Amino acid sequence: MDLGAQQTGLAKVVCAVDNDHWAAETYRRNIGFHMVEADVRDFDLPDVPCDILLAGPPCQDFSSLWNHDGAKTSRGNLFREVARYLSAHAPAAFVMENVLGLLSANHGQAWTNVRRALRTPARFLENKEGPRYVLRVECVDMADLGVPQNRERLIIIGIRADLGIAPPAIPLPFKDRQRTAGEVLDDRKHPLKGLPNHGVGLDTPQVVERLKLIPAGSNYSVIPQGHPLAVRGLISHVYKRLDPTKPAYTVIASGGGGTHGYHHREPRRLSNRERARLQSFPDSFVFRGPPGLSEYPAVRRQIGNAVPPVAAKVIVRCVADALRQHGVPMRSEKEIDRARGRVAVATRVSLARTS
């Protein structure tokens, strides 16, 4: 999300927090050293300017693919940290991304809590007065924003109520001309061979033979029951090959048993570089991971958990434009750079102490 925000040319990220080591390393490699590697629950609120808060609390506990435990888990309660930042910094606006399952988790109680926390964060957390936010909640297929992937997500935009500005609707510039998987993976002008994170050949011979039985756009179900290579699948993603004439299906962060995502021409799983293209990352964005066999799942997890930068760019731009059009004063670039530098220096010192 930060990459897309900065691609607007209207925003600079001052401070970012993540507790995944390799995600933090990837961030520093590509975006900057203003990334703090920490558990956000233990991280003291930084003394930095904040005009727009960007938040992506983990979505797994709200996903209908998993247990749907929602706000019952510690991970599902990280929306409280979004409220903590809103209460303390009172930014003019915020953007939060999650899965559609947030609306139905815990029979709707999870969303009731999240909505209260985002509307009146200080009241929700400490029963005191504080900033109030007007919300706009949209279910968006990111293919409509220019991402070559059908990825339905819940986008919550909040604008501080005292500003008197209605949260803007998210534009859908690609609604009638969605980009396809074939368009980005078969781009002859930009070949994949030789690019970082493009490791292939990770499938067993049995998987390769199974994929040869499945045409592009189909999944495990086309293999007749009783065939020695037939499998049972609980979701349509299982051994599903891309259809090059359509956006890809949703890129996910983890899972085995035929859930890696599979190429439309070659009988193999997608490489992480191909996943990154389907998530709209530029080829120059290099993902970091532990050396050896552990690199593939670590990088796959980062890509699958990411907000596609092209989508984030559209969303953040519409929020920033709304604030500018109504004359909301923003921090100066000098103030932002100075604060960002303080965070980067502290991060470098911390890294030196732990290395």
Q: Are 238 and 220 in contact (CB under 8 A)?
A: yes
Determine the residue type at 256.
G
CA–CA dist 35, 38 (Å, integer): 9
CA–CA dist 186, 148 (Å, integer): 13
Catalytic residue chosen out of the listed positions 50, 59, 139, 318: 59
59 is catalytic: yes
Pair of tokens at residue 91 = 């930014």
CA–CA dist 247, 222 (Å, integer): 21
CA–CA dist 257, 238 (Å, integer): 7
Please, what is the angle between helix 109-119 and helix 79-89, to 10°? 10
Determine the residue type at 223.
I
Per DSSP, what are the bridge partners of residue 248?
A: 149
Identify the CA nearest to 242 among candidates 180, 304, 151, 174.
180
Q: Are 258 and 267 in contact (CB under 8 A)?
A: no
269's CB contacts (< 8 A; 6+ apart) are 202, 203, 207, 260, 261, 262, 263
Indicate if the alpha-carbon torsion angle 298, 28, 276, 58 is positive or negative.
positive
Indicate if the alpha-carbon torsion angle 237, 23, 102, 14 is positive or negative.
negative
CA–CA dist 138, 29 (Å, integer): 32
Q: Are 125 and 87 in contact (CB under 8 A)?
A: yes
Instruction: Tell me which residues are annotated as active site.
Output: 59
